[in-house]
Amino acid sequence: MELYPLGVRRDGSYYTRIEWATHTESDPTFWVVNLIRDDTERNGGTWGANTKGPASVVLSFFGETQTIRRIRIFRNVGLDISVLEELAKTIDLYISNTDEPRKLRRKEDRIDEVPWTFLKRVEMEKAEGWQEIVLDEPVEARFVRMDLLENFGTPIPWTETSEIKIYP
């Protein structure tokens, strides 16, 4: 039997926890918790933020600091009637090594009121499926912030993506 380090899935990605998000929905098809679930099917699995952008989410490693080398994001739109233009076109990634992001608790809290280190701006492909982001060098992080900045230009106020996996 093969054993994996504590906090690492079989695919090598870290287990993460959602600490805070600017947008979430009661409909599970668009629920922010889909970012950390293994559900990438249409009619489920999408984090659809009811905005053209920006929409932010903060992930943690259950209080641990982890080394990050690459990130995979599953591009998905939730419903059969959804179009690829609703996908996030541009995503900014940030990290924090302090406990400051723990201050984010309520809907009224502002994500820029805590310090962040900008990691990378990612131009996403307009297609469903996985897109891999390889960092220029490994970084240490306690928290990861992902901002969906804009969609591909649909008049519908949705910016969507799906699962995010973070790897050592």
| Domain containing residue 27: CATH number | 2.60.120.260
Q: Is residue 5 part of a domain?
A: no
What token pair was written down for 17?
């926890």
Give the phi and the psi of residue 133 in degrees, each rounded to 5.
-120, 120
pTM check: above 0.75: yes
User: What is the chain's length?
Assistant: 168
Q: Provide the number of structural domains found in the chain.
A: 1
Quick: pLDDT tens for 91-132: 999 999 999 999 999 989 999 999 999 999 999 999 999 999
Judged against a pLDDT cut of 70, whether residue 3 lies above it is answered with: no
Residues 126-153 pLDDT 10s = 999 999 999 999 999 999 999 999 999 9
What domain range includes position 62? 17-167
Tell me, yes or no, whether 82 lies in a domain.
Answer: yes
Is residue 1 in some structural domain? no
